[in-house]
């Protein structure tokens, strides 16, 4: 019986070894498939990361470009604001000058009209009185004590 039992044990061990080999082969195949799946996923993730980095780089580049344009526009705005302020000061100065010139013109116009009136009064002779029948001259002074003398 020893031989039969030993043969039985050998067959049993061989079956176990065969079973273990099949299990090992299935496990190795599954592990290999898992490795391939993980490698594929790693490649996909690497590609996604590279795409995101490229997009991030492009966004950073666009952001830097926009910031540069923004600074340039802010600089232009500051320059135009300063120019605008200078123009406003100049306009205010010119308005003050115009106002002063208008006042001066009005004053000159008043003086001119006054001078014109004064000259007009000098140029027109005073109205003449009708000659007196007493033979007195119209512009001659009356003798003292004459009638109409206020003294």
**Intervals of the chain under pLDDT 70:** 1, 123-151
What CA–CA distances, in Å, run from 54 to 43, 60, 61, 126? 16, 10, 10, 106
What CA–CA distances, in Å, run from 52 to 45, 55, 63, 77, 129? 10, 5, 16, 36, 116
Cα 100 to Cα 111: distance, rounded to the nearest angstrom: 16
Question: Helix (H, G, I), strand (E, B), or coil: what is residue 141?
Answer: coil
DSSP 140: S
pTM above 0.85, yes or no: no
Q: What is the pLDDT of residue 120?
A: 87
| DSSP output for 90-124 | HHHHHHHHHHHHHHHHHHHHHHHHHHHHHHHHHHS
pLDDT in tens, 19-51: 999 999 999 999 999 999 999 999 999 999 999
Q: What is the pLDDT of residue 151?
A: 39
């Amino acid at each position: 019986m020893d031989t039969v039992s030993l043969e039985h044990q050998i067959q049993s061990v061989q079956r176990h070894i065969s079973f273990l080999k099949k299990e090992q082969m299935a496990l190795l195949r599954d592990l290999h498939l898992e490795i391939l799946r993980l490698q594929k996923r790693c490649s996909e993730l690497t590609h996604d990361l590279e795409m995101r980095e490229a997009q991030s780089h492009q966004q950073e580049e666009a952001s830097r470009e926009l910031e540069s344009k923004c600074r340039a526009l802010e600089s232009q705005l500051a320059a135009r604001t300063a120019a605008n302020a200078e123009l406003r000061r100049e306009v205010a100065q010119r308005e003050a000058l115009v106002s002063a010139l208008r006042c001066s013109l009005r004053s000159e116009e008043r003086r001119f009209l006054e001078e014109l009136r004064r000259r007009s009064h000098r140029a027109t002779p005073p109205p003449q009185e009708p000659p007196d029948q007493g033979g007195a001259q119209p512009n001659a002074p009356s003798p003292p004590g004459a009638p109409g003398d206020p003294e």
